[in-house]
Structure 1
Amino acid sequence: MRKFDMRKLKLRSVSVDDLSDRMLLVNLYLTQLLTLIIGSVWLFLQSRNPFRLMEFPSSLNFLGWGAGLAAAVLLADVAISRWVPDEVSDDGGVNERLFKARPVWHIALISLIVSICEEVLFRGAIQHAIGPYWTSIVFAAIHVRYLRHWIPTGLVFSISYGLGWIFIQSGTIWAPIAAHFLIDLIMGLIIRFRREKE
């Protein structure tokens, strides 16, 4: 049996343009699965039950928190896109590739999966350990494709802090999940239908 030699392993940078649509989706879903696993393990290490965290609240007040934050984020994004050139808010084409030709049901599914997986890790586990400010710094750093420009980095940090704030105010993880879902869904639909018009 041949031994695996780590010294012969070569890493290379891959652009989003180098990925097929299938590989882009596989990468997205595997990343989200890993995010959910890390979040769940972290919750267990904190002696907290992920199922308890995900309990659905008896009141639907969380929807108001989620929709309110999503509306504020979308208004801010519209204002920024009106006065800031596209290249300043460029994410390397990832969102464009991900949403431009995707059916609406698939955009909704991606938005739901991403919102649940990321909120379990960031708001459920990390924020419990280090608070909303430092969690937002980690969240912005994880969204590395935005780090080339300060405006999208600041926006991602602010969105994350807002998600953490509504989690504290509402007392349920479902408020940031709802906000995250609505933000991703509406942004995905804007990309999808803007490109269709062009």
Structure 2
Amino acid sequence: MKKFDIRKIRLKTMDIDQIDDRMLLINLYATQAITFIIGFVWLLFQRRNPFRLFEPGIDWHFVYWGIGLAAAVIALDMLAARFVPDEASDDGGVNDRIFRHRPVWHIAVLSLVVAVCEETLFRGAVQYHIGPYWTSIVFATIHVRYLRHWIPTGLVFAISYALGWIYIKTGTLLAPIIAHFVIDLVMGLVIRFRREA
């Protein structure tokens, strides 16, 4: 039997165009699963019940907070798209590859998976330890495809901070999940149905 040697592992940078559609989806779902597992386990180490974070509370005002924040972010993003040059908001074509040829139902599933997984880790677990400001710095940093330009990095930071704020305000993870889901869904649909100039 051949012995495994960790020193022989080599990492190389790949361009988004070098990854086929199937591998792109596998990577996306795998990273979201890892994100959710880390968040869930972290919550257990904090001796907190992960399922209690998803309770709606006594009223449903968290829905209004989630949808309201999503509407504000979408309006801001549309405004930025109108005045900010394309090269200043370029993500390397990742979002286009993810959403451009995807059916609407799959865009909705992707948006829901990303919202639940990322909010469980960042708002549920990380924010409990380091607060919304530092959580937003970490959140913006892991969205590495935006780091080449300060405008999308700033927007990701601001959105993350707002997601943390509505989580604190409502006391339920459902508010930032709704906002994150609606933002990703609408932006995915915009990419999907956008006409080429």
**Deviation at residue 134 of structure 1 after TM alignment:** 0.3
- Aligned residue for 2:90? 90
CA deviation after TM superposition for structure 1 residue 7, in Å: 2.2
Residue type matched to 1:18 in 2?
Q
- Return the letter of the residue paired with 1:167: Y
- Aligned position for 1:194: 194
Measure the CA separation in 2 of the matches of 1:187 and 1:21. 19
Query: How far, CA to CA, are the matches of 2:56 and 2:84 in structure 1?
Result: 39
More divergent stretch after superposition (137-146 vs 57-66): 57-66
Find the aligned partners of 1:98 and 1:165 in 2 and give their Cα distance: 28
CA displacement, residues 83-137 of structure 1 (integer Å, 9 cap, x when unaligned): 1111110111010000000000000000000000000000000000100000000
User: Equivalents in 2 of 1:85, 1:54: separation in Å?
Assistant: 39
The one-letter code matched in structure 2 to 1:150 is: W
1:72-91 to structure 2, matched below 5 A, reads 72-91=72-91
Question: Aligned letter for 1:187?
Answer: M
Q: Normalising by structure 2, what TM-score?
A: 0.97
Counterpart AA for 1:194: R
Amino acid in structure 2 at the alignment position of 1:176: P
Separation of aligned partners in 1, 2:59 and 2:178: 14
Give 1:16 shift: 1.1
Q: Distance in 1 between matches of 2:126 and 2:9?
A: 32
Q: 2:38 is aligned with what amino acid?
A: I
Question: 2:159 aligns to what?
Answer: 159
Who is 1:48 aligned against? 48
Shift of 1:34: 0.2
1:99 maps to a residue whose letter is F
Indicate whether 1:68 and 2:76 are aligned: no
Rounded to whole Å, the distance in 2 between the matches of 1:143 and 1:158 is 13
Counterpart-to-counterpart distance in 1, 2:181 and 2:60: 16
Contact preservation (8 Å) 2:56, 2:62: no
SS at match of 1:92: coil
Question: Which amino acid in 2 is paired with 1:148?
Answer: R
Q: Distance in 2 between matches of 1:65 and 1:55?
A: 15
Which amino acid is 2:55 matched to? E
CA deviations over 1:34-79 (Å, ceiling 9, x no partner): 0000000100010001111122434221111011111111111111
| Residue matched to 2:170 | 170
1: distance between equivalents of 2:132 and 2:36? 19
Give 2:99's aligned amino acid: F
1:110 matched residue in structure 2: 110
SS of aligned partner of 1:47: coil
Separation in structure 1 between the aligned mates of residue 189 and residue 94 of structure 2, nearest angstrom = 15
2-structure distance, mates of 1:161, 1:64: 18
| Separation in 2, partners of 1:194, 1:73 | 19
RMSD, matched Cα: 1.1
Q: Is the 8 A contact 2:89 2:151 kept in 1?
A: yes
Instruction: Give the distance between the partners of 2:184 and 2:77, measured in 1 at CA.
Output: 12
Q: Measure the CA separation in 2 of the matches of 1:9 and 1:116.
A: 32
Question: Given residue 51 of structure 1, which amino acid in structure 2 is its aligned partner?
Answer: F
